[in-house]
Amino acid sequence: MSDGGLGTASSHRRSATEHDWLRHYGVWVAAAAVLLLLPHVPGLSSNFGRSLLSQMGIATVFALSFNLLLGQTGLLSFGHAVYFGLGGFAAIHFMRAINAGLPVPMPLVPVVGAATGLAFGLLFGALTTRRAGVVFALISLGIGELVFAASRMLQGFSGGEEGITANRAIGPRPFGLNFASQLQVYYIIAFWALLAAALMYAFTRTPVGRMGNAVRDNPERAAFVGYSTQGVRFIVFAVAAMFAGLAGGLHAINYEIVAADAVGAARSGSVLLMVYIGGEAHFIGAILGAITITWLQVSLSDYTTAWQLYLGLFFMAIVLFAPGGLAGLILMHAPIVRTRAFAGVLGAYVLAAIPAVVMLTGALALLEINYRLSTQPEAGSRMKLYGIAIDTSTPWPWVAAAVCLLGGWWVFRRAWPVVAAARQRAADEVAGHGEWAAP
Amino acid sequence: MVELVTFSLLNGVVYGLLLFMLSSGLTLIWSMMGVLNFAHATMFMLGAYFSYQIGRYIGFWPALVIAPLLVGLLGGAIERYGLRHVHRHGAVAEILFTFGLAYLIVEIVVMLWGRNPIENRVPAVIDFPIFTLFGTSYPFYKALMMAISVSMFTFLYLAFKRTRVGLVIQASLTHPQMVGALGHDVPRMFVLVFAVGSALAGLAGVIGGFALLTEPNMAAALGPIVFVVVVVGGLGSIPGALVASMLIGIVQTFAVALDYSLLDLFRVLNVPVSRTSPLHEVYAVKIAQAAPVIPYLLLVLMLILRPRGLLGTRET
């Protein structure tokens, strides 16, 4: 079911041909090459671009570790940031020790984060994985709040609101590298992110990772066959906590500061958003979600103060209309891309996109005006929207936005059946020609 | 000392009753529908904001009635037009729906009322001392909070035990399929329970909004504690929710007033602790500082020692 992944999923035959080697590892070699080149691509070669890439790398590791829980094993956690943050705290304290003279090079700091994540994963996992489902979600929430409240209480450990700082540039210099520049930090993060992603992917292929799928889909049967569902959940949980701790260690290196919010509920919530928006049923979904959401967080916040509202609306749209997430939406089209009816599907999409864009334009205008009026009342009624100067004390901006919203919605409702019909034609064609079997 | 105990007890009871009004709705929703409703605490927040807005136009007493009704209507609509459709995607999708909803409602509140706390003062009609104890006067609105919560509990309890609808709801807590097979409209019960639970949370918001700060963060601050109450009290048990709310309310209020740490205990017991000891920071934490941690410690202990809660009949 959740095989999706990197395209090597269905093949378990182990013939030693070169073709097979390429199929199994080609993706990872390509990923390594892309990661190596990305910070030199124009547009991303600035400090801002490299910093964005670094954040995406950290988010990817964190989201993948969450996907081990939610996607692979069906454990919905509301406190996954606990392991991220505790790993981060351990890493930042370790960095301070390096600053004080401990002869360990900085790139090894994430190992400390991972070890801490694993230790706390084993500790709390023993408590939380006794139950699955809603109760697990609730206990994870409780542990998250417990750790957050406790770390705010212990100022010496967490530094409270200000956090603990360290300097990544002070320490041993292997090969003359001092890790001061964002480029060097990016390469540290890229290395660990790729390694972690490969290890996590490999973990999902191991018997215990496979049993995680079984425990997710049918715990009674898994138990009946003779597996301890609690044991499987416990192992997966500890591994996920370890990788979350690794992400926390990367966070410590990247920002040189870790504060109490690193273990907080907001961070636990945002990783949930990433994985679910990306598509929890697919390994690639977590990566997609981490990259998309990080990019949105960084870029949207430049344009509008209401970006959190848009993120919430985006999440709700996925929950209501596309439970498979972005990866699910993309993979849904994989079987029909080569059909003759696919051109019709694309045409229908364009047809439906026009009223959708009009509708969204109206909705965004209304939200922006309201947000501006309530959060910055001192700025007055004149504002710029889509580059147009408007005055919100007159009725026209409101009327125009409402007309766009309602009119767009009305047309969209009528355009959607065309999309559904075009998709149905493509699906019929696939079923008729049996193209599904041989991609 | 007597003064401290009396006032801590009074404040603890008020806070506990507030928690109860929130948790009674949540425990019903959860045990009946299996939905961990993350949006429940936002209903509390909406109650506070609605009553503030309505109170500005037509005064406090109408607001006390209208605001909870509005929140209840909203809750019913959420169940009818939102949750019911997500239901077929499974339990995780339902939780995520309420989670996303909570996030959205907070952002919408920010959009309508701004990010800063609003000036939700105690209305003049209920802001006068009702009695004076040890030279400190006790405000009327706190007594009103108590009266409303207690009468709410009595009403709920009687409605549950004595009315037909109450009995059907009680039956659908444990045997929803059977109740449906007997010809009762279980989905309508869901809407009803969701609406009443939300209205109760809204009512708690109206009277609790003065005591706490009315701001967009109030839902996030109170939400997890309400979950703790539900688990500690026992799933689906209204009396359990009452006991657990009182327990947590009183313990937290007393903890805030206690300025002692483990170091003081060691001093009394003559155990020497050096300042350089690695756990010195843990020992030095005062009980008052540890107050926010206590509910969650209770939650974890409860789940280990007694997973069905204080008065629950089945395991959470």
pLDDT digits (tens, 9 = 90+) for B214-235: 888 888 888 888 888 988 888 7
- The H-or-E segment that residue A256 falls in is none
Rounded to 5°, the CA angle A331-A332-A335 comes to 90
For residues A198 and A194, give the distance between their C-alpha atoms in angstroms, rounded to a whole number. 6
Chain B residues in contact with A374 (beta carbon < 8 A): 110-114
Write the residue in B34, B108, B307 that is nearest to A134 by C-beta. B34
- The H-or-E segment that residue A136 falls in is helix A133-153
The pLDDT of residue A1 is 38
pTM above 0.90, yes or no: no
For residues A223 and A378, give the distance between their C-alpha atoms in angstroms, rounded to a whole number. 63
Write the residue in A76, A145, A313 that is nearest to B224 by C-beta. A145
User: Which architecture, in CATH terms, is A18-324?
Assistant: Orthogonal Bundle (1.10)
Write the residue in A134, A143, A312 that is nearest to B100 by C-beta. A312
- Mark which residues 270-289 of B lie under 8 Å from A by CB: 281-282, 285, 289
For residues B51 and B72, give the distance between their C-alpha atoms in angstroms, rounded to a whole number. 13
Chain A residues in contact with B300 (beta carbon < 8 A): 127, 139, 142-143, 146
A377 to chain B: nearest residue by CA?
B114
CA–CA min distance B244, chain A (Å) = 16
Q: What is the pLDDT of residues B273-296, one digit of tens each?
A: 666 666 676 777 777 777 788 888
- The residue type at A338: R
Which of A146, A293, A368 has the most B C-beta neighbours within 10 Å, making it the best mutation to test the interface with B? A146
User: For residue A81, which of A240, A255, A261, A267 has the smallest C-alpha distance?
Assistant: A267
A145/B296 touch (CB, cutoff 8 Å), yes or no: yes
Write the residue in B85, B104, B292 that is nearest to A312 by C-beta. B104
For residues A25 and A33, give the distance between their C-alpha atoms in angstroms, rounded to a whole number. 13
Q: What is the pLDDT of residues B39-72, one digit of tens each?
A: 999 999 999 999 888 888 888 888 888 889 999 9
The pLDDT of residue A243 is 95
B227/A138 touch (CB, cutoff 8 Å), yes or no: yes
The pLDDT of residue A236 is 94
For residues B276 and A232, give the distance between their C-alpha atoms in angstroms, rounded to a whole number. 42
Say if residues A355 and A408 touch (Cβ distance below 8 Å). Answer: yes
CA–CA min distance B293, chain A (Å) = 6
- The residue type at A398: W
CA–CA min distance B36, chain A (Å) = 7
For residues B198 and B195, give the distance between their C-alpha atoms in angstroms, rounded to a whole number. 5
* Distance of alpha carbon A255 from the chain centroid: 19
Q: Please provide residue A382's backbone torsions phi and psi, each rounded to the nearest 5 degrees.
A: -90, 130
Q: Please provide residue A384's backbone torsions phi and psi, each rounded to the nearest 5 degrees.
A: -110, 130
β-pairing verdict for A164-165 and A382-385:
unpaired
User: For residue B246, which of B2, B24, B1, B4 has the smallest C-alpha distance?
Assistant: B24
The pLDDT of residue A181 is 82
Say if residues A78 and A144 touch (Cβ distance below 8 Å). Answer: yes
Q: For chains A and B, count residue pairs whose Cβ atoms are closer than 8 Å.
A: 115
Q: Tell which phi-psi region holds residue B34, choosing left (phi > 0), alpha (psi between -120 and 50) or beta.
A: left
Write the residue in B111, B228, B296 that is nearest to A374 by C-beta. B111
Chain B residues in contact with A371 (beta carbon < 8 A): 110-111
B292/A153 touch (CB, cutoff 8 Å), yes or no: yes
For residues B310 and B236, give the distance between their C-alpha atoms in angstroms, rounded to a whole number. 11
User: For residue A27, which of A279, A202, A203 has the smallest C-alpha distance?
Assistant: A202
SS3 per-residue string spanning A141-171: HHHHHHHHHHHHHCHHHHCCCCCEECCCCCC
The pLDDT of residue A6 is 43
For residues A297 and B272, give the distance between their C-alpha atoms in angstroms, rounded to a whole number. 51
Q: Is B139 on the interface with A (CB under 8 A)?
A: no
Instruction: Tell me the DSSP string of A204-251.
Output: HHSHHHHHHHHHHH-HHHHHHHT--HHHHHHHHHHHHHHHHHHHHHHH
Rounded to 5°, the CA angle B2-B8-B11 comes to 140
**Predicted ipTM of the assembly:** 0.83
- The residue type at B265: L
Residues of A with CB under 8 A from a CB of B: 70, 74, 76, 127, 131, 133-135, 137-139, 141-143, 145-146, 149-150, 152-157, 265, 269, 272, 276, 306, 308-309, 312-313, 315-316, 319-320, 323, 367, 370-371, 374-375, 377
B311: Cβ contacts below 8 Å, ≥ 6 apart: B233, B234, B237, B239, B240, B243
pLDDT tops 80 at residue B2: no
HSE at residue B110, side-chain half, CA atoms within 13 A, is 22
Which of B23, B31, B35, B95 has the most A C-beta neighbours within 10 Å, making it the best mutation to test the interface with A? B95
More confident residue, B80 or A25: B80
Q: For residue B57, list its beta bridge partners.
A: none
The tokens of B2 are what? 């007597």
Write the residue in A131, A153, A309 that is nearest to B289 by C-beta. A153
Find the length of chain B. Answer: 316
Say if residues B189 and B172 touch (Cβ distance below 8 Å). Answer: yes
B111/A143 touch (CB, cutoff 8 Å), yes or no: no
For residues A331 and A334, give the distance between their C-alpha atoms in angstroms, rounded to a whole number. 5
Q: What is the pLDDT of residues B114-151, one digit of tens each?
A: 777 877 777 776 777 777 777 777 788 888 888 888 88
Say if residues B250 and B16 touch (Cβ distance below 8 Å). Answer: yes
Could you state, in order of their start, the residue ranges of all structural domains in chain B? Answer: 2-218
Say if residues B65 and B180 touch (Cβ distance below 8 Å). Answer: no
Q: Tell me, what DSSP letter sits at residue B116?
A: S
Q: Is B92 on the interface with A (CB under 8 A)?
A: yes
The band of B208, judged by pLDDT with boundaries at 50, 70 and 90, is confident
**Mean pLDDT, contiguous 10-residue spans, chain A (439 residues):** 40 55 79 83 81 92 93 89 93 90 86 94 88 82 88 78 83 77 88 94 91 88 88 93 95 89 87 89 90 87 78 86 84 78 81 84 82 73 74 79 87 84 81 54
What Cα–Cα distance (Å) separates residue B169 from each residue in B24, B26, B39, B236? Answer: 14, 14, 22, 11
- The residue type at B195: A
Q: What is the CA radius of gyration of chain A?
A: 24
For residues A276 and A112, give the distance between their C-alpha atoms in angstroms, rounded to a whole number. 28
The tokens of A340 are what? 């003759």
Chain B residues in contact with A276 (beta carbon < 8 A): 96
A142/B227 touch (CB, cutoff 8 Å), yes or no: yes
A265/B224 touch (CB, cutoff 8 Å), yes or no: yes
More confident residue, B158 or A18: B158
By percentage, how much of chain B surpasses pLDDT 90?
A: 8
Could you state, in order of their start, the residue ranges of all structural domains in chain A? Answer: 18-324, 334-433
CA–CA min distance B151, chain A (Å) = 30
User: For residue A192, which of A28, A30, A89, A57 has the smallest C-alpha distance?
Assistant: A57
Chain A residues in contact with B303 (beta carbon < 8 A): 127, 135, 139, 142
Say if residues A313 and A387 touch (Cβ distance below 8 Å). Answer: no
User: How many other C-beta atoms are found inside a 10 Å radius of the C-beta of residue A371?
Assistant: 20
